[in-house]
Amino acid sequence: MNVRGELKKSFQISAWFMFLTFPILVIRVNTVENVIEWRWYNMAIVGVSTFLGSALWRYLLSVKEKSQRINAASPGNMTSFQKAFSDKRFFYPALFILIGFVISFPFLFSMYQANIMITALIYVMLGLGLNIVVGLAGLLDLGYVAFYAVGAYSYGLLNFHFGLGFWTTLPIAAILAALAGILLGYPVLRLRGDYLAIVTLGFGEIIRLVLENWGEFSHGPSGIANIPRPSLLGIDMTLTQNTIFTYFVMIGLVLFTIFVVNRLQNSRIGRAWIALREDEIACQAMGIDRTRTKLTAFALGATWAGMGGVVFAAKTTFINPASFTIWESVIILCIVVLGGMGSILGVISGALVLTLLPEYLRAFSEYRMLIFGIMLVSMMVFRPEGIIRNVRRTYTFSKE
């Protein structure tokens, strides 16, 4: 790295920014006294900040290039976080502390914080479900929110018409969402890349528009209200008690999701998904049934969205089509991409960051989206593999 040359480029960028912002930030016309005010301190602030920002940016780019060369030389290497996590001396104490914190969280913090954490756990489940489709199978799905809506409306409508409870509807909604995933998968079997994204995007919008305009079926824009919260053996609970119970229900569902997704990822169908993602033609040439593999990915990914929709409907006790716009699909996709495609720990961390960060930046409401955008751009530039990248499994054979 040529330090002198990089500093020279940063100085040139700083001078160019000062020249561009000079008429706006330095010159100010006072129409009352008919004088021109020269605010030179603004130019100094712009010059120093752009110089330091450019220098830091170039330094981080050089660090990224160095790490890429190291990863290219040894692609199977784990990150420092993953090495520490795999060390038993660190793993068991960290796991014990994490379990204690998770169990005591709703008792240590307010109900507002517990509700935020429930929402974050719902997005963890949604992210892990979409990770099957996008991260493992490599199928870009922009209509994932449609399966989320299927789960929520399954609970709302089945409870409204037939009086079915939360626990009865949960598996039914998962099955209905899986069937919706298969219905989406059949027409797009031959599509890849941008074409697949456009079709799935259209599917998500079709579901939302049907729910919004078919009033006799879905109650239209007015939605469905008074949806029951999760219950435990018919015991009457206060709002606080029910929030705590819903929190632990979500903890159980997330652990179940992690277990199943991890087993799927290491199974035969999981290896088929990864092969499909890497090279679809070679995958088919190796004898893998492309149709069944894709349909399985869509169905299993949609299953978790259906269950997440049931929990969302039970938590809010009210649903309408406005809750299932395309931006929900975008957020869930950002969770998978920023967390690390194919990485379970990465998706969990991405869900927690993208759901908790906007809530805790409410104090900086004017600059919250600016900070959020800077973080997203920085992640995409300096760590495109995600917060915790997925390490490719390697096999070694001994001669003994």
Round to whole Å and give the CA distance between 84 and 80: 6
Point out the least confidently predicted range of 123-137, 209-223, 290-304, 379-393: 379-393
User: Are the C-beta atoms of 303 and 178 separated by less than 8 Å?
Assistant: yes
Phi and psi at residue 225, to the nearest 5°: -110, 175
Are 299 and 185 in contact by the 8 Å Cβ rule? The answer is yes
Q: Share the mean pLDDT of the chain.
A: 83
Bridging pattern class, strands 224-225 and 35-38: unpaired
The average pLDDT across 198-227 equals 88
Give the model's pLDDT for residue 1. Answer: 57
- The label of the residue with tokens 């751009």 reads 377
pLDDT at 226: 87
The per-residue pLDDT for range 146-179, each reduced to its tens digit, is 999 999 999 999 998 888 888 899 999 999 999 9
Please give the pLDDT value at position 280. 80
Q: How far apart are CA 39 and CA 58, in angstroms?
A: 30
- What's the confidence (pLDDT) of residue 155? 92
- With beta carbons less than 8 A apart as the criterion, state whether 270 and 392 touch: no
Residue 35 φ then ψ, to 5°: -130, 160
Q: Which amino acid is at 183?
A: L
Q: What is the largest CA-CA distance in the chain?
A: 93
Q: What is the pLDDT of residue 242?
A: 87
Q: Do residues 357 and 335 lie in contact, with contact meaning Cβ atoms separated by under 8 Å?
A: no
- The answer to whether the CB of 307 falls within 8 A of the CB of 126 is no
CA atoms within 13 A on the CB side of 368: 13
> 365 and 48 in contact (C-beta within 8 Å)?
no
- b/e per residue, 162-200, with b = 16+ CB within 10 A? eebebeebbebbbebbbebbeebbeebeebeeeebbebb
The predicted structure's pLDDT at residue 306 = 93
Enter the pTM of the model. Answer: 0.82
User: So what's the pLDDT on residue 78?
Assistant: 54
- 400 pLDDT tier (thresholds 50, 70, 90): low
Distance CA 63, CA 54 (A): 14
Token code pair at residue 374 = 């800077």
pLDDT band, residue 394 (cuts 50/70/90) = low
Cα separation values, 357 from 255, 311, 363, Å: 23, 22, 11
The C-alpha atoms of residue 150 and residue 184 are separated, in whole angstroms, by: 13
The DSSP H or E segment spanning 319 is strand 318-319
Which pLDDT score is estimated for 85?
A: 57
- Backbone dihedral angles phi then psi of residue 2, each to the nearest 5 degrees: -85, 100
Q: Higher-confidence residue: 66 or 223? A: 223
Burial of 5 (0-12, 13-18, 19+ CB in 10 A): exposed
Band the pLDDT of 248: cuts 50, 70, 90. very high
C-alpha neighbours within 13 Å on the C-beta side of residue 252:
7
pLDDT at 399 over 70: no
Tokens matching residue 329: 């699909």
Check residue 265 and give its pLDDT: 85
The 10s digit of each residue's pLDDT in 69-100 is 665 555 555 555 555 555 666 767 777 888 88
Residues 146 and 325: their CA atoms lie apart, in Å, by: 9
Contact 243, 113 (CB under 8 A): no
Q: CA 110, CA 245: separation in Å to the nearest integer? A: 14
Q: What is the pLDDT of residues 253-275, one digit of tens each?
A: 999 999 999 898 888 888 888 88
Average pLDDT over residues 276-302: 86
Query: 355: how many CB neighbours lie within 10 A of its CB?
Result: 20
Say what percent of the chain tops pLDDT 70: 91
**CATH-assigned architecture of domain 109-382:** Orthogonal Bundle (1.10)
Helix H or strand E segment including 224: strand 224-225
Exposed, middle or buried by CB within 10 Å (0-12, 13-18, 19+), for 325?
middle
What are the structural domain ranges in the chain?
3-73, 109-382
Condensed to tens digits (0 to 9), the pLDDT of residues 17-73 reads: 888 888 888 888 777 777 888 888 888 888 888 888 888 888 877 777 776 666 555
Flag the least confident range among 29-38, 123-132, 316-325, 361-370.
361-370
Helix (H) or strand (E) holding 318: strand 318-319
In the DSSP assignment, the letter for residue 364 is G
Flag whether pLDDT at 109 surpasses 90: no
Which range, 73-77, 132-136, 211-215, 307-311, is most confident?
307-311
| Higher pLDDT, residue 91 or 189 | 189
Residue 89 in tokens: 């001396």
Task: Give the per-residue pLDDT at 7.
Answer: 81
391 pLDDT more than 70: no
